[in-house]
């Protein structure tokens, strides 16, 4: 039986490589990223906070580990508004990139990367939503409008949605996206909240999904990473 092609995508809030032990260890963060064996990884809090917002996870470390860094326009930064996308593996190629300012009281943003992949064209939207419920509602609505203005392409949203509610709040705000069942990812040492989420648009299905708990993920950041194996819908 021929095995169906999949692409593994992961999302990880790396907290600027500052672990639960208050040690900043980029190599440990990279160890967690590598352990997921993902093709595409969406990162949050990938850059330090103050201008010029240098990368918390150094470019040279990613280069040495074989990761490609999507250029999102931040000089010296890993990404934009702390959101970054890295990738590696055969059959992947970046088509186009972009980013979006998000409404709300805090400065927030989302990044967009369109790939050629073994399962076909794929649009990845990486995001880190606000702390206030009203801001998150505005931001999800804004992202839906952004998607509507783009060419049709199988789309995945991934990031730190900062949503503690166990009710399908996000699902109701974006009915055209299918949010994967929530898995607790925060705080990493004893996860209670499913803050880190992945949602799939039309044309995509999840062959498997989960949260990465293998050490040192329990201490490398205050979040655990989440992942999904994507394939084209029949």
Whole-model pTM above 0.75? yes
Residue that has been written with the tokens 């998150």 in this structure: 136
- Return the CA Rg of the chain: 16
Cα 143 versus chain centre, distance? 15
Query: Which burial class, exposed, middle or buried, applies to 52 when counting CB atoms under 10 A from its CB (0-12, 13-18, 19+)?
Result: exposed
pLDDT of residue 1: 44
Report, as ranges of residue numbers, the positions in the chain whose pLDDT lies below 70. 1-3, 50-52
Q: Could you give the CA distance from residue 87 to residue 104 in angstroms, rounded to a whole number?
A: 30
- Does domain 8-232 sit in CATH 3.60.10.10? yes
pLDDT of residue 107: 84
pLDDT of residue 3: 65
């Amino acid at each position: 039986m021929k095995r169906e092609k999949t692409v593994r995508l992961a999302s990880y809030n790396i907290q600027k490589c500052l672990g639960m032990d208050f040690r900043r260890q980029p190599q440990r963060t990279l160890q967690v990223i590598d352990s997921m064996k993902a093709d595409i990884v969406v990162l949050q809090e990938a850059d330090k906070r103050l201008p010029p917002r240098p990368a918390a996870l150094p470019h040279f470390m990613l280069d040495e580990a074989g990761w490609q860094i999507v250029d999102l326009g931040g000089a010296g930064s890993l990404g934009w508004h702390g959101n970054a996308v890295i990738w590696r593996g055969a059959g992947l190629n970046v088509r186009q990139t972009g980013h979006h300012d998000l409404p709300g009281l805090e400065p927030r943003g989302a990044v967009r990367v369109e790939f050629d992949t073994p399962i076909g064209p794929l649009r990845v939207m990486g995001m880190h939503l606000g702390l206030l419920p009203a801001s998150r509602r505005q931001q999800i609505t804004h992202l839906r409008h952004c998607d509507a203005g783009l060419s049709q392409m199988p789309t995945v949203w991934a990031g730190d949605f900062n949503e503690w509610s166990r009710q399908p709040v996000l699902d109701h705000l974006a009915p055209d996206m299918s949010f994967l069942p929530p898995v607790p990812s925060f705080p990493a040492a004893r996860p209670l909240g499913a803050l880190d989420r992945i949602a799939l648009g039309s044309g995509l299905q999840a062959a498997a999904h989960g949260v990465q708990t293998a050490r040192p993920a329990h201490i490398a950041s205050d979040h655990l990473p989440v992942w999904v194996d994507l394939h084209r819908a029949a």
